[in-house]
Amino acid sequence: MIEVVPGGPMFEGEGDLLVVPVFADLTWGPGAEAAAGRLGPWLDDYFTAREFTGSAGDLVSVPGGDMPYREVAFVGLGDEVDAEGLRRASGTVGRFAGPYRTVCTTLNLVDLTGATEAVVVGYLLGAYHYDAYRSEPKARLNERLELLDASADTAAAIDSATAVARGVSLARDLVNQPAVDKAPDVLAARAGTLNERISVEIVDELEAVERGYGGLLAVGSGATNPPRMVVLRYEPEDAKASVAYVGKGIVFDSGGLSLKPAAMMEAMKTDMAGAATVYGAMQAIAELGLPIRVLGVAPLSENMTGGAAQRPGDVFVAYRGKTVEVLNTDAEGRLVLADGLGIAVESEPDLIVDIATLTGAAKVALGPSIGAIFGNDDDAVAAVEAAARFSGEPMWTMPFERSYRSQLKSTIADIKNIGDRYGGAITAALFLSEFVDDRPWVHLDVAGPARADKAEHYVSAGGTGFGVRTLVELAREMAAKE
């Protein structure tokens, strides 16, 4: 990952690219006026020709003249900038800065609480790329970001932001990897590469039978590659709270015998994004050394069509005894989550949060960029919502309409896995709520924002790592409470 370091005054250092902020109507941000003055009066005409006004998302670069920088980039922040706007502007710079070995910036000096963290996270995520399968990866020279006129607390802010960006990048890598190379056992083994403070338990298909992980086994029954249940534990001695994160880990989803159309399968390597998010969040939390006990549960399976695949109308026994009638094998994520939530309940955490690319209905309701929040506890929902807002990950609290529970009544089992055609995200959440007992619980449906079709600002095309920042911030807030 790119090295991020504190720097000194703007004209006492040197680098390949200097980046300074500009607000709307060419209002100079920190360092921009001084840079413009050194470049000369021709800059005004250049900005006019390029139609650069400082609007959010704008970026122009010019030769550095007699300054100790090869080029100078002016990046627009718009009328009023908040942490997310600064994060996005920095992400735009990160995407632009690939050809420049050393980048120096004054974006961190924008008068905003958390400016340094926003700049570092945005820049590192904007610079993210996944070239593991390219025969000729695109050359990227950028290896250093220097934050100019750094204050005494800059180094600590850099370390915190870098840990979070590393967690997001890990989740992106896991999602972007083709399904053929991340079978459940392979993805389970990746857990062993996480921070050394995290202990890892991997349950194979034989032990899963003994433990009664019926949902995991039912979904994996049609696959050649057997399922795995991964249980991660981060347990610092000074823990002040506890939380359990459960992530859906369907490494490829064909729909099972309720087969998806071909076009709908193209992105189904993404269906383990919830598990990837749990990996990334726990990696960051452990690296940060937050004083909170975290249990991470990742049920990993493929949903395939082999001869032993579960059939519509089958019934299985979920972990801890509830029976489930499966009427649609493509509603499989909730089945593995049922087992994962049962494991989480047994640890008696202060809060359980599950995250999953669960329903197309959530994407229909909220579009491709917004996650859905459901929960059985108003305070818990508010805490997750606040963490998401602080992190800049857009989520919207949805109605947890308990009267819809009647749609899940089965004539032969305790519950069936689908409801009526409409309100599918709600009935999916109601299904999951059956497996959390009375523990405070929040469900995040990220079917839309877990993947992006194109890159913009700090969001990458493909896996986005959506949810990692929220889960890390939630843990940070819970650990800070007295």
The residues annotated as belonging to the active site are 260, 334
Phi/psi for 182 (5° steps) reads -140, 50
Radius of gyration from C-alpha coordinates of the chain: 24
Nearest to 435 by CA among 323, 308, 271: 323
| Adjacent-strand bridge partners of 20 | 74
| Adjacent-strand bridge partners of 291 | none
Nearest to 213 by CA among 17, 38, 394, 346: 346
> In angstroms, rounded to a whole number, what is the distance separating the alpha carbons of residues 394 and 475?
18
Residue 230: half-sphere exposure toward Cβ, Cα within 13 Å: 31
Token pair listed for 379: 């305070």
Q: Which position has the token pair 């002016």?
A: 74
| Adjacent-strand bridge partners of 444 | 355, 373
